Structure 1
Amino acid sequence: MPVPVNKNLHILIMPSWYKSPETPVLGTFFEEQARALQKEGYTVGVIYPEYTPPGELFSSKNKERLDFYMDKGIPTFNIKTQAGIPKLRRLSYRQYSKAVNDVFDEYVKNFGKPDLIHAHSVFHAGIAGFQIAKLHKIPFIITEHLTAYLMGYINNKVDIEVAREIFEYADGSLIVSHNFRKDLEKQLDLPENTFKVIHNLVNELFFNSYLPKTYSGPEETFRFFTNSFLLPRKNIRLIIDAIKILLDKGLNVHLTIGGDGPMNETLREYVKFLGLESKIHFTGKLWRDEVKTEIDNSHAFVLASQYETFGVVLIESLACGRPVVCTDSGGPRDFVHKEQGVIVKEHEPEAMAKGMEHVIQNYNSYNQKELITYCRENFNEHKIASEMMEMYHNVLSKRVIYS
């Protein structure tokens, strides 16, 4: 019997990373997607099954725990579980999934059985979601986000087998950009169009209170902003080197670096070594409203990642009417064209500096209101939630309704 499209569906979201007491701004786009579905009238719950790698079992930071809270109408479980035996991956994954299933049983007891499980990334919430879906005969959708496949970090034979098995089993396999779809299908030797592309969305916050930004010329400081988790693959040093090139050419530029992470101190020391403390400012970790404020205070956004499956920070900037400069990192090819800014083909400081200079020289030719309109038409909450809803109903229409 087909599921009527107006059914108030109950969706359980299982993200592979999410906010927690230690990481309150992690995985914001998963929460934003859950809230977009909630606005459409869906019942939404979250189980975040935080996976502790076997090699880190005895760290004091990795004690097992189970937290529950109601997050503005979304019941949220955060389980941190210790799984395993380092050399027995499948056994570790079974132990992990069993622990998460116990939490799922508690969820069902209190909030009812979901109509569908939607996991984000195979490693590792997707593994638990897959096992729970099979055990309880619940339709299952997986969205992949991880760059790790294409950066060479997922190369264990068992892990590759597990990923293939989950993508092939899922009632729907989603991915966030066309370039990532082609790359991952090739990497895992999956059939063409295994994945359907549904992009990430922009939080409505970024469309609010548009503040136009003009540039009066060389006497004015041109302000670039970047924001990310400070990891090596985000390649922040490339942006710093490009800023130095522009300064050495006599351009009046400034860079603000938002975010925190393992590279924080190294990058600060590098800026100090170059003597650029007055030209490059670090903000530390930023909340969502603070990110918008920094974008509003800047002229343009810059991103230098080695690989991006999508690039949410770029569409956030477009939503504020700011052009972007980014490396040719995959995902941004879906939405960064000459009207939105510059994609830099070579991952080199000179090329990045050239792209940044192009945006400076042509700044007033970017129509900021058109950038906002383009972003709203393609990435607003209702549009992306509607694409998700269509996927959910297509999946459920092929299944018996389980009560």
Structure 2
Amino acid sequence: MIHIVATAVKSGKGGISTALIGFCESETLTQAGVNIIESHKENKPKLESFKAAARRIQNEVQPGDIVWIHCARWFSMLRKYALARIAKRQGAKVFIQFHSTVTSDYAHSFLGRRLLKRLYSVADGVCVLSEWWRQLLTTKLNFASHRIFIVPNPLDKRFELLANETEYRAPNLKEVHLLAMTRLVEGKNVGAVIEAMTHLPPHFRLTIAGDGPLREPLEKRARELGLTKRIHFTGWVDYDRKIDLLRRQDIFVLPSQFDAFGMGFLEAMAAGLPVVALRTGPTSDVVPHDRAGLLIEQCEVQAIADAVVTAIKRHHEFSMFARHYVATNFPADTVLPELLRFFRRHHGPHPTIRHRLYNAMNACSEPWQWWLKGNKLPVVYYDRTHNVGDAINPYLLERLTDRKCLRLKVGRHPHLLALGSILHMSTRYSRVWGSGLIDTVRVPSQEQLKKMHFFAVRGPLTRDLLAQRGAPVKDAVVGDPAVLMNDVYQPPQAEKRFRIGIVPHYVDKQAAALDGLESRADLTIIDVQQDPETFINALSQCEFIFSSSLHGLILADTYGIANAWLQLSDDVAGGEFKFNDYFATTDTISTASRVNNAHELTELLTAPERVCELRRFTGNKQRLREALFKAIDTL
């Protein structure tokens, strides 16, 4: 059971109460079992709400349950810390999620850091809204990156439907409608949008949807500028009226100085509105610059006006991309499966003596580091769930270099980052050799990327996304290092025992489509959670391979076995991105064969030669090997 401890959903003006709507409506969360424990409700005394929440945790939380606690600012954090302690006494696993912009301020103050570290000490894991927040917590507070998971605020069902609408709504160029929807407080820079209206033609209209202490001064300024006929203040717009308002607008303009996430940006993009915003904090993680809108560098009136004019000219391009972007990346049922796996695989912050010694060694200064570790290769890779694609890391590296590997849990010193969709685990000390992005959202910050060293990346999709963020990837070789496996290991020569081998990703091992296949004599199901040699031996016994695991396909190609990309579910993290990234390094761009049940899979397997193919790696394996030793030279 997952217990969500947070402000009552839909009870307040924006904030957590709005952000959680999508999660609460999710079928994925409902199937996992969810219980909402309200820690606060508008117009209800905070102490009374706290006591009620504490009683519910004591009465309803069982050992082994997950308690997912959502924090806002100072007093909210103190209350949530107390509730977290109660949940831990109940034997639950506790995960803290930060939502407020002031979390950044706390990370830079003595008392704030103490509070954040207190929350971290009681948590089994921490959830943040974007990569910018993860970098803040790892660099300023030394939080372990493997205990931080990025959970963007999702679209709720109504906005998800809105984002999936395919009809383009062109603006009426005789009367262009701009929208600024936010709390009217300092830092939101709504005043700058009003000033920008004086630089825009008279047929541009501005709607300001929101309330707050600055409403009266902003209305006064609009009157002083003679803009009362062009600017309309609506007051706060309730959740139920929000979509109707968005449908009547053309551009969303909000050069906010700082937003924890920017749910308004997401909702605007779902409605097909190009966004004009300020490139600051997490906003660049949410709004793709020059694709779904424009991010300006400074909150300058002329810059805002110029961006609005450009956004109107490129309205069709920005609008269509914005909808596709949020519909693909922000539905709750897209975000949640990987989060649930994060919940399952984390077992608490209190390390054993062995782990404390290991972490102390890992954090030591550079000269002592090598004295303690010897001449081992420091490597960061994913190993929370045993999987052949990750297990190849030490196997391949040790055979290519004739040096033992030392897995580092936190990359606080120069280290190799090799196989896997693990670039979101990187730090500024990473020497990247063949890693890839998991998707188009979890991309490290521009500041971090510029400090990293890239010697090889998995594929051109990863390379191009990194280049857009300013990463120095111009000279990086392209290729997944697993293509080198046949240089270091050859399976025993033997006759083919099976016509077909099926390699389900570890999240697909219980897929309904696999039911009943074990009885077939011509078919074997190959477990992806075993060591590389055993896995490769099993592959080599098959004439054809069907795999929903990326490295099942890569290794089949590497060892000359015709194969097909099988899609058994939507649970494989990252969707199609990593597969297409690899295919782009071969002579064939493959598409997935989607099956939903045993009958469809049986039909697919009747003629494997029709769907299976053997891709040829088009990169340079020698350059890929050389890139490894160049990376090692920089350690």
Corresponding residue for residue 22 of structure 2: 32
* 2:218 counterpart of 1:267: yes
In 2: Cα distance, 1:180 partner to 1:391 partner: 17
1:144-174 CA distances to partner (integer Å, 9 max, x unpaired)? 1221133x36766333212112224421111
Paired position in structure 2 for 1:166: 119
What is the aligned partner in structure 1 of residue 178 from structure 2? 224
Partners of 2:56 and 2:316 in 1: CA distance = 56
CA contact (8 A) 1:122 1:142 kept: no
Question: Would you say 1:357 and 2:309 are equivalent positions?
Answer: yes
Paired residues in the alignment total 340
Which residue of the partner structure matches residue 253 of structure 1? 204
8 Å contact 1:149–1:187 — kept in the other structure?
no
Q: Which piece of structure 1 moves more, 317-326 or 159-168?
A: 159-168
Cα RMSD after superposing both structures: 3.0
Aligned to 2:300: 348
Structure 2 match to 1:4:
none
2:159, 2:267 within 8 Å by CA — same for their partners in 1? yes
Counterpart position of 2:62: 113
Q: Compute the displacement of 1:103 (Å).
A: 3.6
Q: Which structure exhibits the higher relative contact order, with contacts defined as CA atoms closer than 8 Å and separated by 6 or more residues?
A: 1
> Do the aligned partners of residues 113 and 375 (structure 1) sit closer, same or farther apart at CA in structure 2, a change above 3 Å counting?
same
Answer yes or no: is the 8 Å Cα contact 1:117–1:129 preserved in 2: no
Aligned mates of 2:172, 2:40 — CA distance in 1: 49
2:84 matched to 1:130? yes
Separation of aligned partners in 2, 1:148 and 1:294:
29
Residue aligned with 1:261, SS: coil
Pair 1:157-2:107 in alignment:
no
Please list every run of 5 or more consecutive structure 1 residues that lacks an aligned counterpart in the other structure: 1-9, 53-60, 67-78, 80-98
Please name the residue that 1:13 is paired with: 4
Q: Which moved more, 1:369-378 or 1:186-195?
A: 186-195
CA contact (8 A) 1:149 1:184 kept: no
Identity of matched residues, %: 22
Between the aligned partners of 2:205 and 2:322, the Cα distance in structure 1 is 23
> In the aligned structure 1, how far is the partner of 2:349 from the partner of 2:112?
29
Change beyond 3 A, Cα 1:345–1:398: closer
* 1:309 Cα offset (Å): 2.4
- Measure the CA separation in 1 of the matches of 2:143 and 2:53: 32
* Distance verdict in 2 for CA 1:212–1:294, change over 3 Å: farther
- For the residue of structure 2 that corresponds to 1:333, the secondary structure is helix
Query: 8 Å contact 2:130–2:282 — kept in the other structure?
Result: yes
Aligned residue in 2 for 1:374: 325
- Secondary structure in 1 matching 2:179: strand
* Superimposed CA distance per residue, residues 116-138 of structure 1 (whole angstroms, 9 cap, x where no aligned partner): 11111264253233222332221
Structure 2 matches for 1:74-89, cutoff 5 A?
79=49
Q: 1:130 to 1:305 in 2, by over 3 A?
A: same
When normalised by structure 1's length, the TM-score is: 0.75
Pair 49,356 (structure 1): closer, same or farther in 2 beyond 3 Å: same
- Residue matched to 1:95: none
Alignment partners' CA distance in 1, 2:348 and 2:4: 20
* CA distance in structure 1 between the aligned counterparts of 2:110 and 2:317, rounded to whole angstroms: 51
Q: Which residue of 2 aligns with 1:298?
A: 249
Bigger CA radius of gyration:
2
C-alpha displacement at 1:38, in angstroms? 6.7
Equivalents in 1 of 2:178, 2:146: separation in Å? 37
**Quick one: distance in 2 between partners of 1:305 and 1:353?**
15
1:42-99 per-residue CA deviation (whole Å, 9 max, x = no partner) reads 33223333499xxxxxxxx885664xxxxxxxxxxxx0xxxxxxxxxxxxxxxxxxx5
Q: Over residues 218-243 of structure 1, what are the superposed CA-to-partner deviations in whole Å (9 max), with x where a residue is unaligned?
A: xx111111211222122211211122
Give the 5 Å matches for 1:239-250: 239-246=193-200, 250=201
Structure 2 SS opposite 1:232: coil
Structure 2 gap segments, 5+ residues each: 351-635
Alignment map for 1:383-398 (pairs within 5 Å): 383-395=334-346
Residue in 1 aligned with 2:93?
139
Q: Which amino acid aligns with 1:355?
A: A
Q: What is the CA–CA distance in structure 2 between the aligned matches of 1:322 and 1:305, rounded to whole Å? A: 17
| Aligned position for 1:89 | none
Change (3 A) 1:216 1:279: closer
Letter in 1 for 2:98: E
Letter in 2 for 1:206: F
**1:47 matched residue in structure 2:** 37
Letter aligned with residue 340 of structure 1: A
Does 2:171 match 1:215? yes
Distance in 2 separating the partners of 1:105 and 1:192: 33
TM-score (norm 2): 0.49
**1:118 partner SS:** strand
Please state how far the C-alpha of 1:373 moved relative to its aligned partner.
2.0
CA distance in 2, matches of 1:181, 1:24: 26
Checking the alignment, whether the CA contact within 8 Å between 2:155 and 2:331 is kept in structure 1 is yes
Q: Which residue identity does 2:290 align to in structure 1?
A: K
Segment drifting more, 35-44 vs 305-314 = 35-44
Q: Partner amino acid for 2:37?
A: I
Which residue matches 1:200? 153
Query: In structure 1, which of residues 266, 273, 282 is the aligned counterpart of residue 233 of structure 2?
Result: 282
Give the equivalent residue in structure 1 for 2:261: 310
Equivalent-residue separation in structure 2 for 1:187 and 1:351 (angstroms): 32
Question: SS of 1:183's equivalent?
Answer: helix
